[in-house]
């Protein structure tokens, strides 16, 4: 029961369809998609030259380096897609987390993950040893931070988890995030000079709220109270790549609600992820904005893979397997979703899986972007086989 494909979604409300995207910070989606596919094809051509090459352009940017530990910040140059400019803590100092405790969210101890993420300066955060971090309250991140779990087995689990709130330039790489629960209403410090009252959190693994330039890569996520990764309230410039998702119902929400049109400028790339066993729906569910979902591997999906709201345009090349419809038109009558532009290209459908083509066609810009080829569906398994947290040893490539 697998689904391997590249999918391009341009989700437009009637308001956005009638108006151009006005924000000066919005990237040209056609150019970004072209660059993603150019990098995929370049990595594929280089497979014969790199003994550790995978054809995955993100991994091939840094994983061939046996000295990755001394060159950790090289990772910041390797993102693709809409979140490619997320630099995290690049050029900042290395902060070593040595204490797994989280006793005081208002005055966190130096050496803890919470103390690291609230600092005002750029930081590249690593871990001294394997650890399980059970957060007392949600971990509210400050801008220009990288959480880099390479070289240690790091679990954030059993309590509240990670919140990116009105922040920018965040990289989260190489950690396990699971069994997250809602955090109670509490006072939480979010910078050295500010602590404030936060209402109860939802229990997301990673909650992205009104934030931009965010990259979540090579994490393993499962079994949280709400979503595994949710991005809402005007968040944009996001890449979610190389992650392993398992055992969860509503996996990923991109866009707060059909009525929240401030999400019209949201742009996100979902690439090279493995949506594994025990997942039900929302891989992702997309609303307003522009979403490029490319070369992901879906296994054992129970209800649907891709969900849409608003008035979406959707193009899908890939390899679905399972006797169900791949997509779901959420919260809309057939008279409405019949007008949405959903397209499937290059799919290999197995065991009765099907993709319902709807709509009269797409804009010329959308059509040009969707005509680009991702890696063939038969090869998607090879570039997602190492999704999730990597086992990285000193002196050898990951």
Please give the full DSSP string across 340-351, using - where no structure is assigned.
Answer: SEEEE-S---BT
Q: Which residue has the higher pLDDT, 311 or 177?
A: 177
Does residue 115 sit within a domain?
yes
Tokens describing residue 29: 């989606």
Handedness of CA 27, 29, 35, 39 (dihedral sign): positive
Q: What pLDDT does 262 receive?
A: 66
Domain extent, residue 361, equals 2-384
Does residue 179 sit within a domain?
yes
Q: What pLDDT does 360 receive?
A: 57
Tokens describing residue 201: 């959190």
Assess whether pLDDT exceeds 70 at residue 162: yes
Minimal CA–CA distance to 341: which of 310, 318, 319?
310
> Domain total for the chain?
1
The pLDDT > 90 percentage for the chain reads 50
Assess whether pLDDT exceeds 50 at residue 4: no
Does residue 42 sit within a domain?
yes
Q: What is the CATH number of the domain that holds 103?
A: 2.160.20.10
Give the separation between CA 69 and CA 73, rounded to whole angstroms.
Answer: 9
Assess whether pLDDT exceeds 70 at residue 7: no
Percentages (nearest 5) of helix, strand, coil residues in the chain: 15, 35, 45
pLDDT band at 1 (very low <50, low <70, confident <90, very high): very low
Assess whether pLDDT exceeds 90 at residue 134: yes
Assess whether pLDDT exceeds 60 at residue 385: yes
Report the residue count for the chain. 398
Assess whether pLDDT exceeds 90 at residue 105: yes
pTM: 0.84
Assess whether pLDDT exceeds 50 at residue 15: no
In this structure, the dihedral spanned by the alpha carbons of residues 153, 154, 157 and 159, taken in order and rounded to 10 degrees, is: 150
Does residue 193 sit within a domain?
yes
Does residue 183 sit within a domain?
yes
Does residue 394 sit within a domain?
no
Give the separation between CA 116 and CA 170, rounded to whole angstroms.
Answer: 13
Annotated active-site positions, please? 282
Does residue 102 sit within a domain?
yes
Q: What pLDDT does 136 receive?
A: 96
Minimal CA–CA distance to 345: which of 317, 373, 314?
317
Does residue 393 sit within a domain?
no
Give the separation between CA 104 and CA 208, rounded to whole angstroms.
Answer: 23
Give the separation between CA 387 and CA 269, rounded to whole angstroms.
Answer: 16
380, 55 Cβ separation under 8 angstroms: no
Handedness of CA 60, 66, 69, 71 (dihedral sign): negative
Taking only the tens place, the pLDDT of each residue in 271-325 is 999 998 998 887 788 777 788 888 888 877 676 666 665 544 333 434 444 446 6
């Amino acid at each position: 029961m697998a689904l391997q494909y590249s999918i391009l979604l341009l989700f437009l409300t009637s308001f956005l369809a009638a108006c151009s995207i006005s924000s000066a910070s919005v990237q040209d989606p056609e150019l970004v998609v072209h660059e993603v596919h150019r990098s995929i094809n370049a990595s594929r051509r280089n497979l014969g030259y790199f003994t550790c090459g995978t054809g995955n352009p993100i991994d091939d940017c840094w994983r061939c380096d046996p000295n990755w530990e001394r060159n950790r910040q090289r990772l910041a140059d390797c993102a693709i897609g809409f979140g490619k400019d997320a630099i995290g803590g690049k050029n900042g100092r290395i902060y070593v987390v040595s204490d797994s405790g989280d006793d005081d969210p208002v005055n966190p101890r130096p050496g803890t993950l919470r103390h690291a993420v609230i600092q005002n300066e750029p930081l590249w955060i690593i871990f001294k040893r394997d650890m399980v971090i059970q957060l007392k309250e949600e971990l509210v991140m400050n801008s220009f931070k990288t959480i880099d779990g390479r070289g240690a087995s790091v679990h954030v689990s059993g309590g509240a988890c990670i919140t990116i709130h009105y922040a920018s330039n965040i990289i989260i790489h190489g950690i396990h995030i699971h069994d997250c629960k809602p955090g109670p209403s509490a006072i939480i410090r979010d910078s050295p000079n500010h602590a404030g009252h936060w209402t109860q959190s939802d229990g997301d693994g990673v909650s992205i709220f009104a934030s931009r330039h965010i990259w979540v890569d090579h994490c393993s996520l499962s079994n949280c109270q709400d979503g595994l990764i949710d991005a809402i309230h005007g968040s944009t410039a996001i890449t979610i790549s190389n992650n392993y998702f398992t055992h969860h119902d509503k996996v990923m929400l991109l866009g707060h609600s059909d009525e929240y049109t401030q999400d019209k400028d949201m742009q996100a790339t979902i690439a090279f992820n493995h949506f594994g066993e025990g997942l039900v729906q929302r891989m992702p569910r997309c609303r307003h904005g522009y979403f490029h979902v490319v070369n992901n591997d879906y296994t054992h999906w129970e209800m649907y893979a891709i969900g849409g709201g608003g008035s979406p345009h959707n193009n899908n090349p890939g390899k679905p397997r399972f006797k169900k419809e791949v997509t779901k038109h959420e919260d809309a009558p057939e008279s409405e979703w019949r007008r949405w532009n959903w397209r499937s290209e290059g799919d290999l459908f197995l065991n009765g899986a099907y993709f319902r083509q709807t709509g009269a066609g797409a804009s010329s810009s959308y059509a040009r972007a969707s005509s680009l080829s991702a890696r063939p569906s038969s090869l998607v398994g090879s570039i997602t086989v190492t999704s999730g947290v990597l086992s990285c040893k000193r002196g050898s490539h990951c």
